[in-house]
Structure 1
Amino acid sequence: MKNRLLTRFISLITSLALVLSLYYCFPDSIIKANSTDLTEAESVADTSDTISDNPFDKQDDMEVPYDRTRWIQPKDWNTPKIDPRDYDGGIMLYFDKIGLDPEYAKGKVQRVYFSITGATEPVSYIKFHVFYDTRLTVKENTAGKFITPGKGLNGFTTGSAKIEDGQLAFYAYAEDTLLNHSCLFTIDFIVPENAEQGEVYPIGLAYTDDGIVADTFINSHKDEAGKLQMTYVFTKGIYNGYIRILGEKKTTTTTPTTTTTVTTKANPDETTEYKLGDVNNDRLINAVDASEVLTYYTMTSTNKNGDLDANQKLAADVDRNGSINAVDASNILSYYAYTSTEKEGIISMEEFMGKQAHNSP
């Protein structure tokens, strides 16, 4: 009982510190609760008797795509509902998707990057809730923090807190800054010692209004351009990641007379169809697909399983030369840049590659 009370007290102090930091760092228009109200902070910290809203902790070894339906446009914007399709850009915020060899993975400290690309508007105020599979353990950095700011946030004041196992909160603020093609932060996870091949530990964001400060990504003026970019980010611009133990997942089924071990795919294919360039099969062709190709190329270059199924390999080999490498990743990025700037008459990846081949010397 004493240990439980001590744990809850430490959690309460940590959450209260985050509340106070947010109160003094963010403008009054963003604050949604008084930081001196201890019961509000307590509601964040006291999770021992409530069901956690953590979509990443099903422990079913499945990837968790970003849930765009959780976004709620802030009422204090006092504007009609903003359509993210009006955003003239292709901003992406994304976590790594990492495959680890089973023999190498057990107990390993694995750093996961959260990066940004394609931003068009500066930001000043940032807050995210990071969720993860609780089979992972977060390792504190040398400063005793759970999240380490990346180079993209140089000059920002940052902070983080562990709300509970499986959920972290992160904030950053500074003068308006254009963040582009950089790492926003990293988290070090400890892979479980009993990790088995085929297991998938999802990591990512879920838009959250915790009653203190809603998640945000906006400039100091909160002008129309900033609101539009923020709307796009929380509806279309976030891509979650995972740590996956490579190999096929082994499951055991028992009958009254026999016990049989059956080997199945961790993520079985449901279709034999594929879209050229869409490696992760999310119906988009962007930098995430290029990252998948580079990860595969890196793994196979060191004689490891690249962790792409047959359809993904067909989608990744965009130049169709029978080899998946950095050239394919570069072509995917070129196509993404093309689709991000052109709004009408966009051609398919097949047509784009045909033009590339025609124009090459």
Structure 2
Amino acid sequence: MSLTLARRLARDRPALVALASLVLIALACFVGPRLTGHPPERIYPDFVRVAPSLAAHPRPDAVRPALTRLAFRMRLTLEDVAQDGDRVRMTLTAPKPIDARSLRLLPRSGLFGEAQVLERSADGRRLVVEAPLRRLTFLLGTDALGRDLLSRCLAAGQVSLLIGLTAALAALLIGVAYGAVSGMAGGTVDALMMRLLDILYALPFVFFVIMLLVFFRAGLWLVLVAVAAVEWLDMARIVRTQTLSLKDRDFVRAASALGAGTVRILVRHIVPNTLGSIIAAATLLVPRVILLESFLSFLGLGVQEPDTSWGVLIAEGARALESAPWMLAAPAGFLVVTLVALNRLGDGLGEALDPRLSAAEAR
């Protein structure tokens, strides 16, 4: 079965491209934050809302203003600056003897390395200091606090993919089992199970989340529990409908006549013949969950700092759309590519797992 599925997918080039895109996005999200050179939580106060660029920062005309701000924080006066390649020599003065420990602010700023004192006046009120200049590149720009947006998007992807895949897995496990049992049982049992489903549908989702907040603190795990608790309902209805249409087929009657039990019929005959619809619905469920998480985060009920997600970044970018459009474009780009790839891969898997295609190939 796996070899047949692989051969069918190999003939579907768009599905292969979608699968490769998802693998690359997943690898980038889980490995990339360690390779960008910028920790996702690192703040660069001198580079707030910097536009995307391949050029390294700081620019030559920005070195002196940055040193002036740092000198002010150190309660010193910047008298002179000379830049030689990637090294900066500066002269600092103060009305009192200068404590060399204050120079620790230079490497903490992220713009300079460890400072070295070259000259010191006899009274200690004048220092000549040299420090290496760090080159920083922000490929996707920075946000309103000066954090690298590429690192933030990759770290946010970990949370969004985790929430989407966890909710899809919960929907598959709970929804498939519930829907298959309901459709196979039929009669009064089916009616009671569907009425319970209707009651759960009637509960407002936001009210349900607020009720959870009474007992738990807002955060990632609350989002996982809340989304997984409601997103299996659609899956259950889909599987029930498919089961009702399959249980009167000849192959199911034949299996029952040969002595197969209900559980065996469900596992060996009913569920495999619904895999196409299940996978298609599951791939559509992942993007819906990600969007639902963004809605919760926008209300302050979802992912909380220091964690982030694509939904949180999109909400932040929407508020800064006029002044910094890249703050919205970057996370939205990751989200759109992921959603399109999931949808196309779901179509390809649904076609590859179609039992009618298997019968045609067998003939």
TM-score normalised to structure 2 length:
0.23
Q: TM-score, normalised by structure 1?
A: 0.23
Q: Determine which structure has more spread, i.e. the larger CA radius of gyration.
A: 2
Higher strand share: 1
Name the one with the larger helix percent: 2
